[in-house]
């Protein structure tokens, strides 16, 4: 390695270490800006260091996860031979960057033999599946759209569109969504009655949303549950973790859209439960304000301590890590993420145990229930496929099986532990690709009691 290249790498590692040890006050960017003056760097050198520092920080959790997956002996040799931030910088450059550093390493390169590099690549692939959030450089809030669903209790698609057009909005019919003006919108092709607006749209301030409640802001992924649940007329559906009530209201709204006048003769009824006092109060108010009182009954109880015999469906959307939500700044959280990794794992374990308990209760303790959806806004397998797999194995004796949910949506669940067919029945959204929050839904059905409860009003 030329001494100047070696110097730049040392400087990059020093900067990474300084950035990681700052607590409050000096930001990483400030440290980087000072660097140029402090070390008399030319602009090219400074830009290179800047890029390497930012990229290595962005991917550090993923790179650590990659290291965690290596055989212990190799991992320990790497740990004892290199500084932590050097290791991450080197791995970033080797696996995700321009591979400039490897060629100038002259010591200990035996640790980076072609076999070990191939092994690192395989570990990176597995790590990307485990913590895809750090592998998604363009997963930022700017990537998602704003979604507004028509509230069919008080309005209709035609009336909302005409109101929007009168107030200067323009419906875009072409497929190309790039370069959308802030006053443009288009209709979603998966969720009916869902309007899509660009991120910078001011639709949330429009009177259709704020005063008339004809349009409800709700992420597309969260609309999947009611869209795919396809509730038959006359059913009673328990929304087990309902606050602030989005999915309960969407179920009714969707019913009105789907069945028209027949809905009012044999309405779908929702029992919306939440155990949290404050969230419950907010939900109760929201349901009232949006005009759903006649169809949604609210209960401030613990779902685990409650049951009923006259419901046919349950939607279960329990508390989760929220790792699919886009309004979190993962890069800025990085230091805490790394330091708190262990406590995060413990938290995830607790959450998934709680989720399994809730799902078991939904599937085992409601005698006439024959359709249950399980959903989270988490991207972690531990809260999604693994919960479904474990509980499904425990309840199969009761006749439950996974069924194909929202088949028109292309992104499906992950295999292992689910088999290919089961995984393909589940729905996932990818925040990087789908312009929505990260979300997961699985649907369970059984036919045991269907004869007794299915009502054919349609």
Ligand X SMILES: C[S@@+](CC[C@H](N)C(=O)[O-])C[C@H]1O[C@@H](n2cnc3c(N)ncnc32)[C@H](O)[C@@H]1O
Binding-site positions for S-adenosyl-L-methionine = 241-247, 274, 317
β-pairing, 371-376 vs 401-403, is: unpaired
Binding site for ligand X (CB under 6 A): 222, 241-247, 273-276, 279, 302-304, 317-319
Quick one: CA torsion of 83, 85, 89, 91, rounded to 10 degrees?
A: 70
**DSSP H stretches of helix in 168-232:** 207-210, 220-229
- Separation of alpha carbons 303 and 274, rounded Å: 7
Q: Phi and psi (nearest 5°) for 122?
A: -65, -40
Buried b / exposed e over 307-346, threshold 16 CB at 10 Å, is: eeeebbbbbbbbebbbbbbbeeebbeebbebeeeeeebee
CB of 284 to ligand X, least distance (A): 12
CA 152 remoteness from chain centre: 27
CB of 375 to ligand X, least distance (A): 8
Which of 231, 364, 355, 365 has its CA nearest to residue 296? 231
CB of 274 to ligand X, least distance (A): 5
Q: Is it true that the peptide bond before 246 is cis, omega within 30 degrees of 0?
A: no
Which residue number has the CB closest to ligand X? Answer: 241
Query: Is 443 assigned a catalytic role?
Result: no
Cβ proximity to ligand X: between 96 and 217 the closer is: 217
CB of 58 to ligand X, least distance (A): 28
Query: H or E element: which one contains 389?
Result: helix 385-395
Q: How many CB atoms lie within 10 A of CB 229?
A: 26
User: CA-CA distances (angstroms) from residue 405 to 89, 156, 278, 402?
Assistant: 42, 26, 32, 9
CB 172 within 8 A of CB 184: yes
User: CA-CA distances (angstroms) from residue 358 to 391, 397, 455?
Assistant: 10, 18, 27
Give CB contacts under 8 A, 24+ apart, made by 281-288. 282/243, 282/244, 283/242, 283/243, 283/244, 283/245, 283/248, 286/244, 286/245, 286/249, 287/245, 287/248, 287/249
Catalytic residue among 123, 370, 377, 443: 377
Question: Binding site: what residues are annotated?
Answer: 241-247, 274, 317
CB 203 within 8 A of CB 209: yes
Contacts with 113 (C-beta within 8 Å, 6 or more apart), sequence order: none
- Separation of alpha carbons 350 and 371, rounded Å: 26
- Separation of alpha carbons 72 and 114, rounded Å: 18
- Separation of alpha carbons 299 and 296, rounded Å: 10
Which amino acids are annotated catalytic? 377
């Amino acid at each position: 390695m030329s001494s100047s290249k070696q110097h730049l790498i040392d400087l990059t590692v020093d900067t990474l270490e300084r950035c990681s040890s700052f607590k409050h006050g000096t930001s990483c960017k400030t440290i980087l800006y000072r660097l140029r003056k402090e070390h008399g760097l030319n602009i090219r050198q400074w830009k290179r260091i800047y890029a390497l520092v930012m990229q290595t920080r962005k991917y550090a959790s993923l790179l650590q996860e990659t290291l965690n997956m290596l055989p212990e002996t190799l991992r320990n040799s790497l740990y004892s031979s290199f500084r932590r931030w050097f290791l991450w910088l080197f791995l970033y450059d080797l696996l995700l960057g321009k591979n400039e550093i490897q060629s100038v390493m002259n010591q200990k390169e035996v640790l980076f033999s072609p076999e070990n590099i191939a092994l690192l690549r395989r570990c990176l692939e597995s790590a990307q599946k485990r913590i895809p959030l750090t592998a998604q450089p363009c997963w930022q809030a700017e990537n998602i759209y704003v979604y507004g669903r028509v509230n069919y209790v008080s309005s209709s698609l035609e009336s909302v569109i005409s109101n929007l057009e009168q107030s200067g909005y323009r419906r875009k019919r072409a497929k190309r969504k790039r370069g959308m003006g802030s006053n443009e919108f288009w209709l979603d092709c998966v969720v009916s009655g869902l309007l899509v607006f660009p991120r910078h749209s001011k639709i949330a301030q429009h009177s259709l949303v704020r005063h008339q409640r004809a349009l409800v802001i709700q992420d597309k992924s969260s609309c999947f549950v009611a869209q795919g649940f396809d509730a038959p007329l006359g059913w009673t559906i328990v929304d087990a973790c309902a606050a602030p009530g989005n999915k309960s209201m969407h179920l009714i709204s969707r019913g009105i859209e789907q069945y028209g006048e027949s809905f009012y003769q044999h309405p779908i009824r929702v029992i919306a439960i939440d155990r949290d006092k404050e969230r419950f109060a907010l939900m109760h108010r929201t349901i009232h304000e949006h005009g759903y009182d006649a169809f949604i009954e609210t209960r401030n109880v613990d779902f685990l301590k409650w049951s009923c015999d006259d419901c046919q469906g349950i939607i279960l959307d329990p508390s989760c890590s929220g790792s699919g939500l886009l309004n979190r700044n993962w890069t800025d959280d990085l230091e805490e993420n790394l330091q708190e990794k262990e406590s995060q794992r413990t938290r995830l374990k607790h959450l998934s145990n709680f989720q399994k308990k809730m799902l078991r209760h939904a599937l085992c303790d409601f005698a006439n229930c024959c359709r249950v959806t399980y959903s989270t806004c988490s991207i972690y397998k531990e809260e999604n496929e693994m919960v479904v797999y474990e509980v499904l194995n425990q309840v199969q004796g009761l006749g439950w099986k996974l069924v194909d949910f929202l088949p028109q949506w292309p992104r499906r669940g992950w295999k292992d532990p689910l088999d290919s067919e089961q995984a393909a029945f589940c729905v996932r959204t990818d925040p990087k690709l789908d312009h929505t929050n990260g979300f997961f839904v699985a649907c369970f059905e059984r036919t045991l009691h269907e004869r007794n409860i299915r009502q054919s009003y349609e």
